[in-house]
Chain A
Amino acid sequence: MPLLVIKYKILGFWSAIFLCLVIYLSQSLIVRSDISFFLPDQKNVLDQIMQYQLKEGDASKFIVVVLKNKSDKEIKDKSISQMLLANVNKLLAQRLRQKSEFTEVKNGQLLTSELKLSPFFDYRYLFQLNDENLLAETFSKVALEKSFKQLLSSMQMLLSSTEQQFISSDPLMRWLALLKQWNSKKISKKNGVWFDANNEQSLLFLKTKATGYDLKQQEKNIHIIHSEIQAINNNQQIKSVEGNNDFKLDYILSGAPVFALDSKQIISQQIKYISTAAFIVLMVFLWWVFRSIKVLIVIGFPLAFAALTGLTVVNLIDGYIHGITIAFGITIIGVAIDYPIHLYSHYYFHEKNTSDINQTIKIIWPKLRLGLITTIIGFSAILFSDLSGLRQLGIFAITGLIAAAMLTRYLLPSLISSVPGNHQNEQIVKSLTNQISKWQFLLSQPGPKIITTLIILVSCSLLIINQASLWENDLSAMSPIAPAKKQQDFNLRKAIGIPELRYALIVKSNSLENVLQQSEQLKPVLNTFINDKLISGFDMAANYFPSQQWQSKRQQELQNISNLSSNIIDVINKLGLNENAFAPFIESIENSHLLPMLASEQSLNELPENFISNQLNSLLLSPKEQLNLQHTVTNDWLAIIPLKGVSDKFKDQWSQQDTSSDVRLLDIKLNAQEMIADYRQQAFYWFFIGLFLIILVLIFSGYKLNNMLALVVPFTGAIVLTISTLVLLGYSLSIFHLVCLLLIVGIGIDYSVFMLNSLPDENALEIDVIKVRSAFSVIICVFSTLIMFGALSFSDMPVLNAIGLTAFFGALYAFILTIIYSDP
């Protein structure tokens, strides 16, 4: 078959693969972006609940809207500013309540949907008010008279027909008191809506239908909020209010979905800018060396193919890919650029001898393959990880690098042969290789070897001694969100009474009834903690869905109150009120003890969708829901009791409580830290197993034992020196640093394999040519790596900064050590 036909067939084959990958990804790629994704797989109930809380829990669905006046001029009458903010708040709430994307829109206003909410309204006398002990006290003649007198006072302001109807059924306003208690908002109100403590910012909070990690939907949700606020801002109704000339509406959005999107945007922006800058510098550098645009394009192919393959494989296996996997993975497979650089650099030098690109690839392929295998072994340490994020990263890196190597081996020779040869800047090549030869000679003397060996050993010892203090276990420390913003969100959550993400009690039992009863038994204990100011509040399913035992007790209490109806009628008559007007009230009390029990599994499933059923969904986990989460069969019900405003002393006090073993305290932050620490330990074992396997591979690749030092010392030494440098610069090591160290293993071996003078497959006659071309290709690779990762180290984002610095120092040390040890 003519060579040209073979070449076109090869090109056609690879083009078809490229096209398939692009089509698949454009149709099916799903990107997620929650930090919990970087937590290990659930192993026990607490882990399971923690992940549930972080991914699906209510706390991850809240968005707080803060409305304020940004005018520099102080509005003469503060009340006008408050009135305008309240109006905006009400209008915004009204508009957002019509959107199906939000399951709750709360701003302090009473809602029609909350009045006589079925079926809970009928059960209002069976629920417990916080300050209520016995129903007999609530319905004593004295208490009733007091309540009706209060009603009379409030009737000084005229009742609307809605209020009139409502009062007929509930003159004691018990339902409104329950709503207030359930919302647990101690926040102050102005003009009917919530304001902050200084009465300067009006507040509104939204609960999204989508989970916090569904970033695509959350992006839409946030867009809806922005456009609705914009529409209101342009509304003439607001503008026409007298005295508003100095009013300029401003707003802040806060909450987990907002932060997740901000993180995504910050990561994308920084990656975009930094990568673009690094890419331009790299291309200028490579052009300066190779003097050919075509070569630059060819060099980019393996990288692009590696990224497409990595994305496709991960998406095929998991059904989605994490944003950090993409950002981090593409950075890691950036080393795939080394493969075409090696090929092209060697081809240039070989042209003088053979001018056959196929011959060149055959000569360098064993080295590329060895570098690839050892890198794969290195990344295998995370391939079997419990952290799904790292597992994805492992798959992405391994498949990407294999794809890049395959493309370099089987496609690039055809492409490069069509690119006219000898484009390199002869002067630069000579100057670079001469310099490297000089340094290689100087540094390969015994002196530098002894000094560097000593430095590595001392650093290693110091790191082992201080290993406990080296690590950063806090995932949130890696978040790109500014601490001030996080604090603002914390304050807002505290003010509005939204639970923080950190603490919850988990109650486990074999039935819904038992789990509710156990939760109810915790109420007095938790109320004591509130009184002692150890916590500021709590929420539990039993508040909205009391156990059947509790309901039955309340019904009995109602039945035992003698002459209840006649007492009510006496008070009504005494105060000159119309008995008939309160007939629905008397009827509802009389019927309360006849109501069928709420709180059965069936009634829970049959609840209509409203704010209480939504709340119950997030506070109760049925065995079926747990099966979906953990994929293990269980008969247990779980109740989650989120705690609010937890003080430092609470944990000590809680540990002294004599509670059932079925009640456990979940500290999400601590739990996550312990999981990360456990994982790190596990990853370390894998890391050392990986090192051992790499050494075995090197031995079986035919390298003599005296060459092993030249192959092993550069990457192990680079790891030790990189960690030491990072620690000296004040960085704590995270899992991201750990992954980058795996990259250093690959880079280090790659440099050593190419720089080692005495190689298994080469004869002595070619030794000078080998020396020069190897030094040349490695130095181009080193500069490329330093440019790419050096740029990332300028990022103020912890993750990108970690990757950048680690890879930069790692590559630099690996290269220096390679030069020192490459002449055994």
Chain B
Amino acid sequence: MAEELLPQSNIKQLFSPLSKIKEISIPYLEKRESFFYKEAKKYKGTITYIFPDTFIKTISGSERQQFEITGEQLIIKLNWNSETKQYQRENQIPLNSDTKMLQFKALLSGLLSGQTEALEEYYDMKLIRLNDLQLKLLLTAKHDPFVEQIQQDKQTVEVVIKHTEQLKSNHNGKPLPHIQTMIIQGSSMEKISYTFLAPDIKVN
């Protein structure tokens, strides 16, 4: 089946069922390639969204850290222990001080809580049907979050979404989008690839 570009209105339609979610937790595998790393870094952890505006990214393994965005604050907890909920040090950064963080929050808001208007603020969006079960959301950043004036080499995000029958029953029969992979490409030498596993969802 050939790839097909879908109308913009389908994006909102696709993500709107997520607005009913009370809490969603998605285990992930992350591969981070960067000009600044000796070799690609691999992480695993969980990304959690708690209604209305809390996003938590927990990295497990040797580089244990937790990034929590609540409202307009980013809290970084170093040496985070998921079991004891203890950590060595905490850094608090106002989200508004950095457009890059706002953009990241918008990405999470769109993909996990269905707030596509936040996504629209930072990205141009295209929805492509890959096959009967999979869709691809292609996001291109409107600005360089570091220096907004810069128009070249914009960040792109490629998200592959699957509709699964398994999740259907959780929301009045409407399918919930299940994000399978996400590839964020900064420059030619900056790339993050996420593979998401089956989510744990609590619906209102």
Question: What chain A residues lie within 8 Å of B144 (beta carbons)?
Answer: 160, 162-163
Is the CB–CB distance between B117 and A243 below 8 Å?
yes
| A163-B146 contact, Cβ under 8 Å, with A155-B34, A242-B117, A243-B117 | yes
Q: Could you say which of A111, A160, A192 has the most chain B C-beta atoms within 10 Å of its C-beta?
A: A160
| Minimal Cβ-Cβ distance residue in A for B154 | A160
A198 to chain B, nearest CB (A): 14
Give complex CA distance A110, B100 in Å: 12
Q: Does A702 contact B (CB under 8 A)?
A: no
Is the CB–CB distance between A578 and B37 below 8 Å?
yes
- Stretch of A183-191, A562-570, A642-650 with 4 or more beta carbons under 8 angstroms from chain B: A183-191
Is the CB–CB distance between B146 and A160 below 8 Å?
yes
- Stretch of B124-132, B160-168, B182-190 with 4 or more beta carbons under 8 angstroms from chain A: B182-190
Is the CB–CB distance between B147 and A578 below 8 Å?
no
Q: Does A90 contact B (CB under 8 A)?
A: yes
- Give chain A interface residues in 229-259, CB to chain B under 8 Å: 241-243
Is the CB–CB distance between B186 and A160 below 8 Å?
yes
B181 to chain A, nearest CB (A): 16
- Stretch of B21-29, B91-99, B169-177, B196-204 with 4 or more beta carbons under 8 angstroms from chain A: B91-99
Give complex CA distance A166, B100 in Å: 15
> Which of B102, B147, B190 has a CB less than 8 Å from the CB of A164?
B190
| Minimal Cβ-Cβ distance residue in A for B157 | A158
Is the CB–CB distance between B37 and A577 below 8 Å?
yes
Q: Mark A180-203, 1 if CB is under 8 A from B, else 0.
A: 000000001111100000000000
9 contacts between A and B (CB under 8 A): A110-B147, A111-B147, A159-B190, A160-B145, A161-B186, A162-B144, A167-B36, A188-B96, A576-B37
Q: Does B192 contact A (CB under 8 A)?
A: yes
Is the CB–CB distance between B34 and A191 below 8 Å?
no
Question: How many of chain A's residues have a CB under 8 angstroms from any CB in B?
Answer: 37
| Minimal Cβ-Cβ distance residue in B for A114 | B147
Question: What chain A residues lie within 8 Å of B41 (beta carbons)?
Answer: 576
Q: Does A109 contact B (CB under 8 A)?
A: yes
A15 to chain B, nearest CB (A): 61
Give complex CA distance A163, B147 in Å: 8
Q: Does B4 contact A (CB under 8 A)?
A: no
Q: Does B5 contact A (CB under 8 A)?
A: no
Question: What chain A residues lie within 8 Å of B104 (beta carbons)?
Answer: 157
> Which of B121, B153, B192 has a CB less than 8 Å from the CB of A161?
B153
Q: Does B101 contact A (CB under 8 A)?
A: yes
| Minimal Cβ-Cβ distance residue in B for A165 | B187
Q: Does A156 contact B (CB under 8 A)?
A: yes
Q: Does A370 contact B (CB under 8 A)?
A: no
Q: Does B85 contact A (CB under 8 A)?
A: no
> Which of B99, B146, B190 has a CB less than 8 Å from the CB of A166?
B146
Question: What chain B residues lie within 8 Å of A578 (beta carbons)?
Answer: 35-38
Q: Does B148 contact A (CB under 8 A)?
A: yes
B98 to chain A, nearest CB (A): 8
| Minimal Cβ-Cβ distance residue in A for B59 | A156
Question: What chain A residues lie within 8 Å of B91 (beta carbons)?
Answer: 153
A576 to chain B, nearest CB (A): 5
Q: Does A94 contact B (CB under 8 A)?
A: yes
Q: Does B155 contact A (CB under 8 A)?
A: yes
Q: Does A706 contact B (CB under 8 A)?
A: no
Is the CB–CB distance between A189 and B149 below 8 Å?
no
Q: Does B6 contact A (CB under 8 A)?
A: no
The 4 closest A-B pairs by CB, nearest first: A161-B187, A163-B146, A158-B186, A161-B153
Q: Does A581 contact B (CB under 8 A)?
A: yes
Given contacts A157-B145, A160-B146, A242-B117, 5 further A-B contacts (CB under 8 A): A156-B57, A160-B155, A160-B186, A161-B190, A576-B37
Question: What chain B residues lie within 8 Å of A159 (beta carbons)?
Answer: 34, 36, 146, 186-187, 190
Give complex CA distance A166, B146 in Å: 10
Give complex CA distance A702, B76 in Å: 97
Is the CB–CB distance between A160 and B150 below 8 Å?
yes
Q: Could you say which of B76, B100, B120 has the most chain A C-beta atoms within 10 Å of its C-beta?
A: B100
Q: Does B49 contact A (CB under 8 A)?
A: no
